[in-house]
Structure 1
Amino acid sequence: MIIEEIIGNVKNSGAPTTHVERVYLRSDELVKKVQRVKTDHGKELGIRLKSGKELLDGDILYQDEKNAIVISVIEDDVLVIQPTNLLQMGDIAHQLGNRHLPAQFENEEMIVQYDYLVEKLLQDLDIPFVRENRKMKEAFKHIGHSHD
C-alpha cells in the first residue's frame, strides 16, 4: 500500500473508533517525503506525500470502516533549557546559533536535541536545564547556511 496523502489528524478529528495500527517514527523521519515504514502489526507501507506537507504525530495515513493507521512519534532525547533571564536566553541562543543547532520553543523553554557538548556548555554558563525524553510536535530542522 502506498500512502500519498494524510487523511486527518487524531488531535483534530478525535481518535478513530476502529482498530488502530501505529507507525512509530523518530521526529527526524517526519520530514521525509518518501519512505518505507512498518506498522506495529507488521504491515508494510510506502509513504510518498504529494504535497509539501510534513508528517505530524497523530496523522491518519489510512482509515476504512474497520481499520486505521496512525503516526506516533517516538520520544527524543532532548535538553530542555530554562533560562532565568533575558541575558541567559540571549547568551545560549547566540552560542547555539553559532553552532547552527536547531531549536524549538515551547512556552518559556528552548529545546534542543541532546548533545554532550551542549550539556557541558549549559553547565559552564550556569544556565538551568533538564535532560529528558520528550515527544516533539515537529522535527528538528537544520537550516542550511555557510559563512562564505
Structure 2
Amino acid sequence: MIIEQIVGNVADVAASGRHIEKVYLSSDDLVKRIQRVTTDHGHEIGIRLRDPKDLSDGDILYMNERNMIVVSVTNDDLLVLRPSTMKQMGEIAHQLGNRHLPAQFEGEEMLVQYDYLVEELLQQLEIPYSREERKVKKAFRHIGHHHG
C-alpha cells in the first residue's frame, strides 16, 4: 500500500468503532515525505506524500469503514525549559538561536531536544528546566538560513 495523502487527524475524526492500527514514528521521521514503515500489526506501508507537509501525531494515513492506520509519535528525550523571568527567556532564546536549535512551545514551556551542552548552559544561566521523555505533536524543524 502506498499512502500519498493524509486523510485527516484523529483529533478531528471520530474513530466510530473502527479498528486502529498504528505506525510508530520518531519526531525526526515526521519531516520525511518518502519512507517505508511497518504498522504495529506487521503490515508494510510506503509513504510518498504529494504535498510538502510534515506528518503529525494522530494523522490518519488510511481509513475505510472498519479500519484506520494512524501515526503515533514516539517519545523524545527533551529538555523542558521553564524560564521564570523575561530576562531568562531572552537569554536562552538568544543562545539557542545562535546554535540554530529548533524549539517548540507548549503553554509556558519551551521544548528542545536533549543536548548536554544546552543542559550545561541552562545550569550556568540558572534557568529552571527538567529532562523528560515526552511525545511532541510535530517535528522539530530546522530553519535554514545563512549569515551574510
* Normalised TM-score (structure 1): 0.96
Query: How many residue pairs end up in the alignment?
Result: 148
Over the aligned positions, Cα root-mean-square deviation in angstroms equals 1.1
What are the Cα deviations for residues 36-88 of structure 1, in whole angstroms up to 9, with x where unaligned? Answer: 00001110000011112221111111112222111000011100100000000
Identity %: 66
Mapped partners of 1:70, 1:16: distance in 2: 14
1:144 match: 144
Q: Quick check: 47-56 or 33-42, which moved more? A: 47-56
**Is the counterpart of residue 46 in structure 1 residue 46 in structure 2?**
yes
CA distance in 2, matches of 1:14, 1:132: 30
Aligned residue runs from structure 1 range 112-123, under 5 A: 112-123=112-123
Q: Residues of 2 paired with 1:24 and 1:16: CA distance?
A: 22
> Counterpart amino acid of 1:3?
I
Q: After TM superposition, which residue ranges in structure 1, 4 or more long, deviate above 3 angstroms?
A: none
Write the distance in 2 (CA, Å) between the matches of 1:58 and 1:73: 8
Unmatched 5+ stretches in structure 1: none
SS in 1 for 2:118: helix
Paired residue for 1:37? 37
Question: Which TM-score applies when normalising by structure 2?
Answer: 0.96
**Residue segments in structure 2 that go unaligned for 5+ positions in a row:** none
